[in-house]
Structure 1
Amino acid sequence: MTFTPEPLDPDDGRPPYEQVVSSLSAAIRTKKLAPGEKLPSHNKLTELYGFARATIQRALRDLEDEGLVVSRKGSGVYVRNRTERPAGLRPYVEQAFTNQDVFIDFAGFSSETLHAALQDPIDKIRVGRLTPASINIRILVPDMYVPQAAPVLKSDRSDDPRLRMRMHDLMVGFTRGISNQVHELKLLGLVPEALVQVRVHSGTQFFKLYVINQEDAFFGYYPIRPNKVVVQGEAVEIFDLIGPDATLFHYSINEGESSSGAQQVDQARMWFDSVWTTIGRDFNPDGQ
């Protein structure tokens, strides 16, 4: 198969190597460059993109650092197989915003990672580089007014309302930030339709799940580890759910209708909708 990249945006202010990284990573995510496929040669990529050879080399190094490609001495550069390394979330979130209609479902502990992943596409909408017609985000998080399996005190594994209120405040901060930023895009006339909904449930959330545009799912477990936090001016040792240590695994319907990836996406969507429509309760992060 002959690879032809999408035309680069002439108004893109990023360094050339970043533009090449973005283009090639998008091609890998959308399977225009399939797992195991050999990339065009350095000379061919230089010709395709119109940038210097050093720019192409820098871009390929960055893609290798991200785990998207692997360089084989004397053979060339190849797209990694999905099973060799978990994929990153942010490029898929940004790619989702190139669609006319953006759908993102998140289930997790606080939505901190989602908040961070949304910053780049939101900034690009503000400057006119991304122009979706609608954004619909659903956030499903645990109700921290209800005792949880974690976080708990390390000394005797007991519940401490102060720990839950600390997590509640973090969750409110991140969900409010997402809601305000997305709704601002609508108020400014940058996106015709924008909606962020938050619901809570009474269970402990031991994993995080993202379903992006109903086509890609990312799943990862929260490990529980000792931690020390400050609550109401007191240092407290706890057993905590550690979000940054959750390795995300990617599944896609683009792997084929009968593939395990497509089945994982289908089950993720089913699970999310079932919790959202049954035991999920509406929550307003603004407290109104």
Structure 2
Amino acid sequence: MKHGAQGSAEAGTPEWRAPGAARVPAQARAGDGADGCRERDTALLAVRGEHTHGERPVPGPRPAVQRSSVRGQILDALRTALVTGELKPGEVHSAPVLGERFGVSATPVREAMQQLALEGAVEVVPNRGFRVVERGARELAELAEVRALIEVPVMLRLARTVPGERWAELRPLAEETVRAAASGCPATYAESDRAFHQALLALSGNEQLVRIASDLHRRSQWPSAGGPVRHGRADLVADAAQHMALLDALVSRDLDVVRELAEEHFAGAC
């Protein structure tokens, strides 16, 4: 598998290096928030060193949670790399090679990549590793349409029934999306954006709705092949401003404005 992954790099695929290793060239980064994303990546993978050389092992059994923690942090880092475009559509990566770059064994990387395969972000390439799925603009538009079909009616129903003080609880999350947008990092914004939408839909009390909508939201964040990796800082700021306006409309129970803002919000996600 390692040989196959290296072969793809030699064929002209830009090499992606994990946070904490040598970084990709600046021109390979997306958007105008690269610095913010680099800082986020560094924080994500403070996990480096699952097997640090020269360190005296701690006596006693290893905590059972360690592998899960490593896998989870690597999964977060890989998702960030997908959103920012560091893992580009069509590229093939092997778990052993990625493991070397993360400073961990191949096992937690493979487990994280298998989770991404279940989510539809990557696909298994026998004897080589995992290929980042290539998606077109039509798929992104379809995802935005499905999200609107699910979430807009729920928002309108909640606007009729949820008291104003409950909506006030969401204001810190909406404000966080504004701060995340200002950072210019698409991965940071995607995380805060998803948190806001999850909290809003959670007011319905329907856990299955929240789970399905969250999955659709995550899929909608992945870049399309040959297209822009993600909206720029100005687009993120405008998107976050819609959260604030939508929250105000929900508080005042202005159903026409809620519908208009929600439909515009999802149309802009294409």
Query: Where on the TM-score scale, by shorter chain, does this alignment land: which range?
Result: 0.3 to 0.5
With the length of structure 1 as denominator, give the TM-score of the two structures.
0.39
Structure whose CA Rg is larger: 1
Greater strand content: 1
With the length of structure 2 as denominator, give the TM-score of the two structures.
0.42
